[in-house]
Amino acid sequence: MSNALAFVVRVAVVAVSLWVATLVVPGIDNDAGGTGARIGTLVGVALIFGLVNAVIKPIVKVVGCPFYILTLGLVGLVVNALLFLLVGFIAGGLGLPFTVGGFGAAFVGAIVVAVVGFVLHVVIPDRIDQR
């Protein structure tokens, strides 16, 4: 699979995961008008989500390493929720009608996105092993 196609698959998986979160979690909303606008918003938020996870999450993990060790990784759930809140804030700042209603919604939403993303990546791999 080419790099471009793998990127598109990853963005699509995150967008679908975010869509499921908007359906399941109260407080996470995609308030765009029509279906096309909603899909565009989800793709935009998926790109922001990927950028935040690629740039900020590794920094937080390195700085917070003692807390990860002390809590046996459970602080990762809080970090993911805070990053999800950040994604909602950035999306709102960019004019995307995607809102995260608070820490509780972000906490549950981050779990939903992670689980749905994992399941979709198992079903739809974004790369093929070249062994």
The residues pairing with 30 across neighbouring beta strands, listed in sequence order, are 98
State the pTM of this model. 0.90
Per-residue pLDDT of 86-130, as tens digits, reads 999 999 999 999 999 999 999 999 999 999 999 998 888 766 555
pLDDT for the residue numbered 5: 83
Name the strand (E) or helix (H) holding 9: helix 3-24
CA-to-CA separations, 105 to 27, 92, 120, in angstroms, rounded: 5, 16, 22
Do the Cβ atoms of 48 and 90 come closer than 8 Å?
Answer: yes
